[in-house]
Amino acid sequence: DTAVSQTPKYLVTQMGNDKSIKCEQNLGHDTMYWYKQDSKKFLKIMFSYNNKELIINETVPNRFSPKSPDKAHLNLHINSLELGDSAVYFCASSDTWSSTDTQYFGPGTRLTVL
Amino acid sequence: DQQVKQNSPSLSVQEGRISILNCDYTNSMFDYFLWYKKYPAEGPTFLISISSIKDKNEDGRFTVFLNKSAKHLSLHIVPSQPGDSAVYFCAATQDYKLSFGAGTTVTVRA
């Protein structure tokens, strides 16, 4: 039973399209995150939600809009996709919003923009 | 501006020997340090952590050392096993944000 799941695993789309990536965690955690792993392999925080409220927004273009319908879900919608959005996107969750809480990651969604 | 750096992109080690992974950081405000392990097509999984007030933490075959004056972190794996072949990410937290290094790919040879 997967703790943090993401769909889809792969996403190939054209520039200018709008797409969504879904994330669900069944760990009962309060906090969820989106990370982007770029071509240089760095994982960078994009957003963090705690109890459905946005607490971290790391200067991400406003084409990216996270939505948390409930504590178990954090979806990422991307408008007007650009070539530079091609990356692997990881969702994660932690028990609480604490520096010392372990973050559990999903398997990633590889987005390719053509 | 990367605040966490792993300068060795890869490491090859013989099974049974010690693997030493290094990590340097520039932000003296980091208060917690972690290592994550990642297999292909999977997300990173937590391995071991250390608070900034300590200099060593051990968990089975894994030991993390922190040298705050040098802003340097290392992970020792002993003995190395084939299942340890993976990408290892060093990470650090400040204000609840996790900053990652670029990773070191470890290959354990039989």
- Stated as kind and residue range, the H or E segment containing B108 is strand B104-109
Is residue B93 less than 8 Å (CB to CB) from chain A? yes
pLDDT digit string (tens) for A77-109? 999 999 999 999 999 999 988 888 899 999 999
Picking from A40, A99, A107, the nearest residue to B42 by CB comes out as A107
Which residues does chain B have within 8 Å of residue A106's beta carbon, measured at their own beta carbons? 43
How far does the CA of residue B61 sit from the closest CA of chain A (Å)?
Answer: 19
Q: Is A85 helix (H, G, I), strand (E, B) or coil?
A: helix
CB-CB neighbors (< 8 A) of B103 in chain A: 41
Question: What is the token pair recorded at A86?
Answer: 């091609």
Average pLDDT value for chain B: 95
Looking at residue A56, its pLDDT comes to 84
Residue type, A38: D
Triad A82, A87, A93: Cα angle to 5°: 120
A99 with B41: Cβ contact below 8 A: no
Using a CB-CB cut-off of 8 Å, the residues of chain A touching B100 are 42-44
Q: Return the DSSP state at B3.
A: S
By C-alpha distance, the chain A residue nearest B39 is A107
Q: Which amino acid is at A48?
A: S
**Arithmetic mean of pLDDT, A48-55:** 89
Size of interface A-B (CB pairs under 8 A): 55
For residue B65, report the phi and psi dihedrals to the nearest 5 degrees.
-115, 140
Q: Is B32 within 8 Å of chain A by CB? A: yes
Q: For A55-74, write each residue's pLDDT tens digit.
A: 888 878 999 999 999 999 99
Weakly modelled stretches of chain B, pLDDT under 50: none
Query: Are A92 and B46 within 8 A, CB to CB?
Result: no
Task: Choose the closest CB to A100 out of B32, B41, B42.
Answer: B32
CA-nearest residue to A105 within chain B is B43
Measured CA to CA in angstroms, residue B87 lies from A67, B83, B101, B104 at distances of: 30, 11, 11, 5
In this predicted structure, the answer to whether residue A35 has a pLDDT above a threshold of 70 is yes
pLDDT of residue A1: 62
Q: What are the chain B neighbours of A98 within 8 Å (beta carbons)?
A: 96
Instruction: Return the pLDDT at A20.
Output: 97
